[in-house]
Amino acid sequence: MVRPELTGGPFDLIVVGAGINGVGITQDAALRGLRVVLVEQDDLCSGVSAWSGRLVHGGLRYLEQYDVALVHESLSERERLFRLAPHLVKPVPLMVPVYRHNRRPGWMVELGMVAYDALSLVKTPPFHRALSRTATVRRFPGVGTDGLTGSAVFYDGQVENAERLCVELAVDAAAAGAVIATKTRVEAPLVEQGRVVGVRATDTTTGETFQIRGSVVDNVAGAAIDRLLTDHALPPQPRLNGGTKGSHLIVGPFPGAPRDVVYYESRQDGRLVLIIPWRGRYMIGTTDIRFDGDPDDARCDIGEVDYLLGEVNTLIPGAGLTLDDVLYTFSGVRPLPYVPDMAESSVPRSHVLHDHTDTGLPGLVTVVGGKLTTYRKLAEDAVDDAFRRLDRRSPGVPTKRRRFPGAQFTDLATLTAAVGARTGLPEAQVTRLVDLYGSRTFGVWQLVERDPTLARPVHPSGLTAAELVFAVDADLARSLTDVLARRVLLAFEPDHGLGSIDVIAGVLADHLGWDAGRVAAEIADYRGWLDKLAVPDPAGPRSESFGAGIRVAVSS
């Protein structure tokens, strides 16, 4: 049966898409007193928000495009996240090695660093430092020295668990009165008398169709924004998305691996490549390939693997990485504006609120573009726009100073000590819980205090049964995949949790009343989802080029 809260009186705002921008808009709107619903065909953070390099950064390379405003905004929002979500977003050092053969000479790198610091004078991390060749090798012993002249070290932010960022925003939105409707696919805008008055939707678990009515509809579906505009009954709409695919490889520790994030210029084509320490392993990326297919179908191909491994092996001669070292891969499609004649790396990263009034759909706004780092400012702009359309005066913007639900603590060291004292758990397990939940760890542990059997571990990582219950009771998860991929993040361990899958599914089945058929279906769905992480077949299709300009996929 369709949830009555979806089909009752009209909402002020309907938000379509639960990536970082969609949940950010929903949180802001709910906190400002709008009646808002978030509608998502899958789950929170189930699209490109989960498939990035997980850096909260100012966009150093945007200085090459002279987009100073975007860099300043990004640095301001980065600093804000350090304060508002310190358990999730933390400063990390990045090293930029400088070689004689680089297309960007040392003086240009230094100039960029000075500008980067100047645009973020009020900040948590230290300013950049220039290192000599000797100091660079001392800090990064594995780096190739042929032509090396030195390096620069600067700081940005990292959100290892980007899914948790989205989940906490959605939890905060729900607490403020927002309706969160996952597993609900929007088929098309609902148009009456020449105006958009809501959306037509389908419950993907039951197949039931229904209408959700609202005064303003924000299409925030990321790289899928154009799909909402293809219904034959609608007036023709312009193409808005020109997304590009970015892929990453995950490998274990390897000879010569850096301790810093390394941000360096590709020897092959001058692109900027990153090696990112992540969850005890390394993330290598990213590519930037024009992608016109269904974003859900984006997968890393063997050409991308060859390119990225080749770049790492060139930078770190002793690495010796091969396809066999790749634990898994992932790919996402960036929600960029459609600019067909521009190289992918040059497409603007700023967001745009596209009003469909002039193309016959007043009441519909499509959010084009946006970055994880600047989601909050995008949300502020979108909610300001909604108030104007509703002809209502907006109150102040609470998200500028509102700490995340898991950030209700003085400092991480004090929180970690308090969690350890209350739970009696080993240090490694306490750290893991604090990294995932922050101060909401106490909410997880309250479940154990009520039912001590929930303290039992269900995976060698230290995952407990209590976390599985918390995922569905407090963190808005509705399926096994939701839990493993976007709440407890067991999907990103090398075994993806498959060795414990029956035990984990059994805990959820006992708590939610799933029968044997439902359990089998949930496990099958999760195994299907893991295809997104597959290491590509060496004989499969490969991307043709990674340099500037249009890139296409070709058969090998």
Given pLDDT bands bounded at 50, 70 and 90, which one contains residue 243?
Answer: confident
In this prediction, residue 496 carries a pLDDT of 97
Q: Taking Cα atoms as reference points, which of 74, 59, 426, 15 lies closest to residue 225?
A: 15
As given in the structure block, the two tokens for residue 231 are 């219904």
Q: Which of 96-110, 279-293, 339-353 has the lowest mean pLDDT?
A: 339-353
**Residue of 232 and 179 predicted with greater confidence:** 179
Cβ neighbours around 114 below 10 Å, total:
12
My answer on whether 224 and 258 are in the same domain is: no
Q: Judge if 41 and 137 occupy the same domain.
A: no
- How many helical (H) and strand (E) elements, i.e. helices and strands, does the chain have? 15, 20
DSSP codes, 25-82: HHHHHHHTT--EEEE-SS-TT-SGGGSS--EE---GGGGGGT-HHHHHHHHHHHHHHH
Domain co-membership, 290 together with 227 = no
Question: Which of 158-172, 187-201, 382-396, 539-553 shows the lowest mean pLDDT across its residues?
Answer: 539-553
Do 236 and 248 lie in one domain? The reply is: no
Q: What's the pLDDT band for 190 if we cut at 50, 70, 90?
A: very high
pLDDT grade for 501, boundaries at 50, 70 and 90 = very high
Last residue of a domain, one of 311, 339, 367: 339
pLDDT above 90 for 417: yes
| Rounded percentage of the chain residues whose pLDDT exceeds 70 | 94
Number of domains in the chain: 3
For the whole model, what pTM was predicted?
0.94
- Residues 506-544 have pLDDT tens digits of 999 999 999 999 999 999 999 999 999 999 998 877 775
* CB-CB contact of 307 with 140 (8 Å): no
| Separation between Cα atoms, residue 486 and residue 475, nearest integer Å | 10
Residues 445 and 394 in one domain: no
Quick one: pLDDT at residue 552? 31
**What would the pLDDT profile of 329-377 be if each residue is shown by its tens digit?**
999 999 888 877 666 555 555 788 999 999 999 999 999 998 899 999 9
Q: Which of 320, 339, 358 is the last residue of a domain?
A: 339
29 has pLDDT over 50? yes
Task: For residue 138, tell me if it sits in a domain.
Answer: yes
Residue 476 has pLDDT above 90, yes or no: yes
Q: What is the DSSP string of 1-27?
A: ---HHHHSSPEEEEEE--SHHHHHHHH
Please indicate whether residue 285 or residue 71 has the higher confidence score (pLDDT). 285
**Which residue, chain included where needed, has tokens 């790749």?**
326
Q: Do 324 and 291 belong to one domain?
A: yes
Nearest-5° angle of CA 26, CA 88, CA 84? 60
Judgement on whether residues 264 and 138 belong to the same structural domain of the protein: yes
**Mean local confidence (pLDDT), 253-282:** 94
Q: Are residues 325 and 462 in the same domain?
A: no
Please tell me whether residues 150 and 228 are part of one structural domain. Answer: no
pLDDT at 402 over 70: yes
228 and 354 share one domain: yes
pLDDT of residue 62: 75
pLDDT tier for residue 184 given thresholds of 50, 70 and 90? very high
Classify 269 as helix, strand or coil: coil
The answer to whether residue 76 is domain-embedded is no
Indicate the pLDDT class of residue 127, thresholds 50, 70 and 90.
confident
| Residues 527, 378 within the same domain | no
Buried b (16+ CB within 10 A) or exposed e, 19-34: bbbbbbbbbbbbbbeb
DSSP letter for each residue of 392-423: ------GGGTPPPTT--SS-HHHHHHHHHHHH
Residue 438 belongs to what domain range? 412-533
Asked whether residue 526 falls in the same domain as residue 422, the answer is yes
